[in-house]
Structure 1
């Protein structure tokens, strides 16, 4: 008789993503304390957090959803969460391949690999380029079909 009363119990309504939610969602795997790798990684962690804040302020939850989809394949946090937990790792051997200056992701294991760049502007450009040039599992095309 009262379907609207029970809707929150049986239907998941994802809340809009925030930079803080994204930061807490991803576990960051750092190298050993005191190593040179660790210092470079800590700099990029600061860039990652700044990037999330900038995206939230400038473009909102939809772009945060693109970041999440790039890393996990899901643009919202599922009701039961992720398994495995989303993870941030780092690309250390950039000198071996110029492609490693772009972030990479493995959606099967919910892993986002960030490039070790020394300037925030380069990091931001790298992230924006990767996110802007990803197919997103064809979801954009499906969304267009429903709009038309």
Structure 2
């Protein structure tokens, strides 16, 4: 279902004229009818409302019935009433508080491929400490986001587990599909840190700009 949401929103937003938009609507007619998002297309600007309708369905309407069922269950023995009366007391039971990231937490989080370069791994550990000490242009959250797309460790953890490998390249590569961080193999630690900082900082900046552009349109 998540794949349908992403696919259809991208298809709708990619339409460049009314004919394209109508063609997309016809192609996904059964799907749009099923989720109650069919609408008459009169202009290209209608694509924004259509994309919003699809998003509203998946984020709000689709989960509304299970949420109401959950609330009814909490009313048993007056639990829901107590939660509403003392929300702060129940906060830790129902809300996940992300673990504070540190060099050690990040180091323990990543598994290392057996054939990784020993020197590069040493540079990696030194880099993590430099980041934690504020001696880098990046943060531990930046490193995690660069590798996995997440700023914090999810309650259920990562699947697959984040891993490290070392490749003969100048800059690191973060593969968010399999949570793998490829470290560059350099001659000096200074070069390693500069390349890590440059790649992570600029990649995250570009991703943020692309995300903002997508939301605006």
> What range describes the TM-score normalised by the shorter chain of this pair?
0.7 to 0.9
Residue equivalent to 1:80: 156
Aligned to 2:91, the other structure's residue is in SS state helix
Aligned to 1:105, the other structure's residue is in SS state strand
Aligned to 1:74, the other structure's residue is in SS state coil
- The 1-side partners of 2:104 and 2:161 are apart by 16
- The 2-side partners of 1:55 and 1:129 are apart by 13
Residue equivalent to 2:97: 13
2:179 to 95, 110, 115: 110
Higher relative contact order (CA 8 A, sep 6+): 1
- The 1-side partners of 2:175 and 2:146 are apart by 9
Maintained 8 Å contact 2:175/2:181: yes
Matched, 1:65 2:134: no
2:198 to 101, 126, 129: 129
Larger Rg belongs to: 2
TM-score, normalization by structure 1: 0.78
Q: Which runs of 5 or more residues in structure 2 are unaligned?
A: 1-84
Residue equivalent to 1:22: 106
Maintained 8 Å contact 2:173/2:181: yes
Q: Residues 87-139 of structure 1, C-alpha deviation per residue, up to 9 Å, x if partnerless?
A: 00111xx3xxxxx2000111010000011112100100010010111136428
TM-score, normalization by structure 2: 0.54
Maintained 8 Å contact 2:146/2:204: no
Structure with greater proportional helix content: 2
Q: By how many angstroms is 1:15 displaced?
A: 2.4
TM alignment of 1:24-63, pairs within 5 A = 24-31=108-115, 41-58=117-134, 63=139
- The 2-side partners of 1:70 and 1:18 are apart by 16
Q: By how many angstroms is 1:59 displaced?
A: 6.0
- The 2-side partners of 1:120 and 1:73 are apart by 26
What do you get for the CA RMSD once the two structures are aligned? 2.2
